[in-house]
Chains A and B, each alone.
Chain A
Amino acid sequence: MRVLRLLTGLLVAAIIATGCGGDDSDSAEPTDSGESSEQTDGGVSDEPTDDDQSTGQVDEDSSPAPAGDLVIAIGGDETTLNPYTYVTGYPGYNVLMLMHDSLLELDAVNVPKPALASGWEISDDGLTYTMELRDDVTWHDGEQFDADDVVFTFEYVVDNTHPRWTPGVAAVAGVEATSPTEVVITLNEASPDFPVRPLADMPILAEHVWSSVTDPQNSGEAENIGTGPYVFGEYTPDQSYRLDANPDYAMGTPAAATVNLAIIPEPATAFASLRAGEVDMVAPIVEPQLVAEFEADGGVDVISGPGFGSTMMNINTGLPPLDRPELRAAIADAIDPQTLIDTVLLGTGTAPNPGFLHPDGPITVDPLTHDFDRDAAAVALDELGATIGDDGIRVLDGEPLDFELLVYADNPTRIRTAELIAEQLGEVGIGITVAPLDAETVDEQVWPGFDVSNGRDYELAMWGWSPPVQLDAGRFGSLVHADPSIGGFNVVGLADADTDGLVDEMNAASDADSRAAAIGALQERIAELRPFVLLYYADGVYAFRPEAYDGWVYQAGQGPLGKISLVIG
């Protein structure tokens, strides 16, 4: 009896102690799990937007106080976390790059700046890159870094397919070490994106470590020798990683003595651990509903910025009647993105450019605006001959305009968005059934086998592309080109000769002006054809404990997790 009373007491105590804590478990579901092929993460901003974050700037006068043992919650195991084995685009790549360096790296506004290469020159024809390398860099095992490592890396990623870097070096005709501190890279064709990807993206591998690795996807901890500010310390599968500060780091001072990654699959738990003080920063993005709660919590602070991750509704353009651009345009006109942003994101998002590119993105040219006009949509549907049937759903060519909208079941933000879209389209007589499914299942219907030439099996789908897609024109063009070898991301199945021509023109452009013109024209063509409806770009909001470390800086497209926050000077 006494035991029972005790148990009941505990239950009551738990409920009282939590206050309105139940909200947490509902709202802090993963938003970025299974985000198409890459994880949607934070976003981009011109500058860190939170005024209290300015201390984290690379500014010698106001360097943040160094942290001791920093604990960061990540959502899943990243295996042995070396360049060939890390798992996720975010946060896996970000923490990988705490241990490794690339030739260049992106600054807070996505402009390449020197890293292992202290300087570089591009020939007038855009085909030859001469990279001057630092001579004061050593690998974590003490070996000297030199030009041979760079040559080796370019060759290695061609011989050993890496999903992120092998496509990036496809344009390379040859790499030559002209001295221990100079490398000359020649390209087959000019590529304005080359400094961004691969130069500022691909970590340089240690030749003396990787030359003997024949199965890199199954390589291990021993291969995790980089030149970065942190040294791989310890890995406990499914539990944690420890990275130790590298005292010999050539390009600054590590901000923390150790960076510990705690693997916490359930975001609600990760945020509870943050509030309990067991974790100092949470890598998964904070749901909009939680932001106010964290801002009110004295021990927890948030850093935020506009995000490059896009949220959109994909339309299967090959499937009648959705193959009619007029119908797609009417659907787009009947959707009010501002209501979605205000209701679902509580205002923490940027209004869409119907031409896909984020208004503040580095390659965006004259962003367009989405004009919500329900009446115009209704008129357009009438003109198409879609008349309202008995049940209030329009009928076109004898078939009701009633569609299934797929959405990741583990993403409540997208589900709420989808439900609002269903209401908005219902107003003009288009029926929508929201179908929340397991992320892999949605992917398999939208993008079977991650190969657009396999076709697609859906009507409408909530979708998103991760921030890197906003960074280079090649990936932007791959969203809409009909040829699978160029349009690898064309999951909407758009086949339009004019669009293809514009993408080809954009990819072939060797100078900035002609490329910008092509990008502008392509945006307009996309906005006209509406193969997808851009809904919003959600802000990236990340939570941390300032008492543990307050040097977090919001890096464009990547949020605060990376060298930009964890290296001083």
Chain B
Amino acid sequence: MRATLRRVGVTLTVLVIAVGLNFVIPRLMPGSPLRAIARGGDAGQLTRAQREELLERYGLNDPLQVQLRDYVVGLFRGDLGISLGDGRPVTEHIGDAIGWTLLLVGTSLLLTTVLGVALGTLLTTSRRRGVDRGGLVTSLALDALPPFWFGMLLILGFGVGLGWFPTFGATSIVGGGGFVDVAHHLVLPAATLIVTGLGQTYLVTRSSLLSVMGSTHLAHARVRGLPERRLRAHALRAAALPIHTLVLLEVGWLISGSVVVETVFAYPGLGRTVFEAVQARDYPLLQGAFLLLTLTVIGANLIADLTYPLIDPRVRGDAAS
């Protein structure tokens, strides 16, 4: 119990530091949000007084500590501020985008995990050395694929070349929106995330399994004549811990990692929101999006920490002490 409380305490500390960094880092970027605020693509035409008036209106002339105070006070009220780019509430922006990201990342994460673990188990425990080696080389290659490049290949191959899948967006521009349409648009971006993410799950499954397979309890079981299928099941259970950690870490990684894929596929998710907010120096939107990413990563870590004991009895003992 005390250990659990300590973990929650550490998590809260990390959260406070992260909120501070989320405020500071966007403002450290060179450049100004003035162009985004001015609109009309012509901030350079404004007189100094007009520029000041615009900055004033968004509180950007206030001293940094005042801006920070307003931000933190807003956070406690659940108010993330107004996007400088279009004046919509940040929560609305994030609300629009989060559903698409969850759909894309959720689908990809699920399939990456299932495929990665299944392939890792099958190929690693195969008796043919060539198969294992082939799996290793392929997974290393997949892991090294740049998502931007691979996504573009899929667009050109399956969108332009074969015409099987749409090349951009989450729904069709004219007359889109149904379940089939959404699923159809999901295929290529999800495939990009799955293929480029598969390698890591595979590699962790493989190394984790290999270390377990060499352990004495499995050697013992094998000597006792347990069938290979049951051996595999035992091994996988013992090897599950690193995979469990990896999956939860990837929740955070995939949300930020989808920045590139969402931009390439013009997918209206959170990653693209971040990309555009960075370009526009839209501080409130960046703060909001980073806050969500931070919460996801911290939350996933906390969940990983707290659920270890459920999977591994040895950790349970540690926690009790």
Contact = CB atoms under 8 A, between A and B. Distances in A.
Contacts of B57: 217
Given A69-B174, A269-B266, A37 B163 contact: no
A29 to B, nearest CB: 11
Nearest to A96: B40
Contact of B37 (A11, A162, A217): A217
Contacts of B45: 37, 163-164, 167, 488
Given A79-B85, A269-B167, A273-B167, A85 B39 contact: yes
Interface in B67-126: 82, 85-88, 93, 96-97, 115, 118-119, 122-123, 126
A77 B158 CA distance: 26
B178 interface: no
A238 B30 contact: no
B86 A85 contact: yes
Contacts of A79: 39, 85-88
A443 interface: yes
A441 interface: yes
Interface string A216-255: 0110000000000000000011111000000000000000
Given A18-B157, A166-B50, A485-B47, A4 B266 contact: no
B268 A269 contact: no
Interface string B188-225: 00010001001000000000000000000000000000
B154 A36 contact: no
Most chain-A CB neighbours within 10 Å: which of B53, B126, B279?
A: B279
Interface stretch (B9-17, B145-153, B286-294, B305-313): B145-153
Contact of B161 (A17, A240, A266, A447): A17
Interface string B252-279: 0000000000011110100011011001
Given A85-B86, A218-B87, A21 B156 contact: yes
B171 A90 contact: no
Contacts of B122: 1
B160 A488 contact: no
B168 A93 contact: no
A265 B31 contact: no
Contact of A18 (B34, B43, B153, B272): B153
B284 interface: no
A88 B162 CA distance: 35
Contact of A17 (B46, B96, B118, B157): B157
A163 B40 contact: yes
Contacts of B46: 161, 163, 166-167, 450
A311 interface: no
A474 B29 CA distance: 33
A179 interface: no
A486 to B, nearest CB: 11
A7 B195 contact: yes
B42 A163 contact: yes
Instruction: Report whether over half of chain B's contact residues are helix, strand or loop; otherwise say mixed.
Output: helix
B152 A162 contact: no
A4 B43 contact: no
Given A14-B157, A161-B46, A262-B169, A39 B35 contact: no
B242 interface: no
A278 B263 contact: no
Contact of B85 (A39, A87, A239, A266): A87
A89 B161 contact: no
A338 to B, nearest CB: 30
Given A1-B131, A269-B168, A440 B281 contact: yes
B160 A21 contact: yes
B180 interface: no
A444 interface: yes
B4 interface: no
A264 B166 CA distance: 13
A38 interface: yes
Contacts of A161: 46, 50, 53-54
A86 B41 CA distance: 8
Contacts of A451: 48, 51
A25 interface: yes
A17 B152 contact: no
B32 A265 contact: no
B30 A445 contact: yes
A18 B123 contact: no
Contacts of A260: 173-174
Interface in A289-318: none
Interface string A259-299: 01011111011101101111000000000000000000000
Contact of A37 (B44, B159, B198, B281): B44
Contact of B41 (A14, A18, A37, A77): A37
Interface in A79-109: 79-80, 84-90, 92-93
Given A14-B153, A25-B148, A239 B169 contact: yes
Contact of A238 (B40, B96, B134): B96
A355 to B, nearest CB: 21
B154 A266 contact: no
A276 B273 CA distance: 26
Nearest to A485: B47
A260 B175 CA distance: 11
A532 interface: no
B86 A444 contact: no
A176 to B, nearest CB: 26
B266 A265 contact: yes
A18 B131 CA distance: 29
B239 interface: no
Given A163-B46, A262-B173, A39 B41 contact: yes
Interface string B122-139: 110010000100110010
A450 B35 contact: yes
Contacts of B273: 238
B265 A269 contact: yes
A130 to B, nearest CB: 27
Interface string A427-454: 0000000000011110111010111010
A444 B30 contact: yes
B186 interface: no
Contact of B119 (A4, A80, A240, A441): A4
Contact of A269 (B42, B161, B264): B264
Contacts of A240: 169, 173
A71 interface: yes
Interface in A18-53: 18-19, 21-22, 24-25, 33-34, 36-39
Contacts of B134: 4
Interface of B: 29-32, 34-48, 50-51, 53-54, 57, 82, 85-88, 93, 96-97, 115, 118-119, 122-123, 126, 131, 134-135, 138, 148-149, 152-163, 166-171, 173-174, 191, 195, 198, 263-266, 268, 272-273, 275-276, 279, 281
Interface of A: 1, 3-4, 7-8, 10-11, 13-19, 21-22, 24-25, 33-34, 36-39, 69, 71, 76-77, 79-80, 84-90, 92-93, 161-164, 166-167, 215, 217-218, 236-240, 258, 260, 262-266, 268-270, 272-273, 275-278, 438-441, 443-445, 447, 449-451, 453, 484-485, 488-489
